[in-house]
């Protein structure tokens, strides 16, 4: 019986691996991306209906979030325009950018381009370029399909992939909880699934590149994460750090990635 379980587990892992078009890395993806994006659209609409969304009308902060989102996604679409496999995936993205009134220090991007920034994050970002670094990082997680990978890894051991695939397609409560946990949306759903070091490095790298391509100075990411680490030293660390570990080595890694990112940097208007 144990041998059969091991064989079945290997079959799940082998048949569930696919190559990510952006990172080039093989990753475990047990869930259909179309189903995940459909659930994302549903959960995003529900989330916005249950929280206070700051309108861009009369709000400089909300307008900034929209502007940052639009500049980033325009740069991303332009960058991948000549790469058919990625450009085709991006056609399925229906980008949305919203600022939500909450003290939480958090931001996230669901599959399909559903972005939320919490007002509690803005005192730490302090400027538009730093906000672009955060949003670019979150977009990178979505494009690299890290949420799908985390959900797949969490279920592969239980051989529940097929059952959960059906659950995702049918948007069952269990699937919703798994989805929200994987994408770091709200702590009320239970333990959040942390990103791996490899996923974080990928998001850091591409997030810096995306913000640079959009005309934001990627070097603002260094003081940003220094401020984030300082905010995380209190009794209640920022919610974003539940899934994005603030380690001392992170800033060192960002510094190592900076020369590559700066190659893409051209300030707007120059």
% of the chain with per-residue pLDDT over 70: 71
Residues 215 and 264: beta-carbon distance below 8 Å: no
Give pLDDT, residue 78: 96
Mean pLDDT across the chain:
81
Q: Is residue 136 part of a domain?
A: yes
The pair of three-digit structure tokens given for residue 58, joined into one six-digit string? 């009369």
Catalytic pick from 138, 200, 202, 220? 138
Radius of gyration of the chain (CA): 18
Q: Is residue 217 part of a domain?
A: yes
Provide CB contacts within 8 A for 233, sequence distance 6+.
none
Predicted structure pTM score? 0.81
Please tell me the total count of domains within the chain. Answer: 1
SS3 content of the chain, % helix, strand, coil (to 5): 60, 10, 30
| DSSP symbol at 109 | E
Give pLDDT, residue 178: 65
Has 138 been annotated as catalytic?
yes
At residue 150, does pLDDT exceed 50?
Answer: yes
pLDDT class of 128 with cuts at 50, 70, 90: very high
For residue 141, what are the domain limits?
32-262
Give CA angle at 232 (231, 238), nearest 5°: 90
Please tell me which residue, 42 or 154, carries the higher pLDDT value.
42
Q: Is residue 129 part of a domain?
A: yes
Q: Is residue 211 part of a domain?
A: yes
Q: Is residue 50 part of a domain?
A: yes
Q: Is residue 196 part of a domain?
A: yes
Q: Is residue 21 part of a domain?
A: no
Q: Is residue 73 part of a domain?
A: yes
């Amino acid at each position: 019986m144990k041998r059969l379980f091991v064989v079945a587990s290997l079959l799940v892992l082998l048949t569930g691996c696919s190559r990510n078009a952006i990172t080039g890395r093989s990753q475990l993806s047990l869930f259909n991306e179309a189903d995940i994006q459909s659930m994302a659209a549903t959960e995003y609409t529900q989330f916005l209906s249950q929280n206070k969304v700051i309108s861009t009308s009369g709000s400089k902060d909300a307008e900034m979030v929209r502007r940052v989102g639009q500049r980033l996604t325009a740069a991303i679409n332009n960058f991948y325009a000549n790469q058919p496999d990625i450009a085709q995936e991006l056609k399925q993205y229906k980008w949305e950018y919203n600022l939500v009134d909450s003290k939480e220090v958090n931001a996230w991007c669901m599959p399909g381009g559903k972005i939320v920034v919490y007002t509690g994050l803005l005192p730490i970002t302090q400027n538009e370029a730093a906000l672009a670094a955060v949003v670019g990082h979150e977009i990178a997680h979505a494009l690299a399909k890290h949420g799908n990978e985390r959900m797949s890894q969490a279920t592969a051991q239980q051989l529940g992939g097929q059952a959960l695939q059906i659950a995702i397609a049918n948007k069952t409560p269990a699937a919703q909880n798994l989805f929200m946990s994987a994408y770091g949306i709200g702590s009320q759903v239970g333990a959040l699934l942390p990103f791996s070091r490899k996923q974080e490095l990928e998001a850091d790298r591409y997030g810096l590149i995306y913000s640079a391509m959009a005309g934001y100075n990627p070097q603002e990411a260094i003081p940003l994460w220094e401020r984030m680490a300082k905010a995380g030293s209190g009794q209640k660390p920022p919610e974003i750090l539940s899934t994005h570990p603030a380690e001392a080595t992170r800033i060192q890694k960002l510094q190592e990635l900076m020369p590559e990112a700066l190659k893409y940097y051209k300030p707007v208007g120059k």
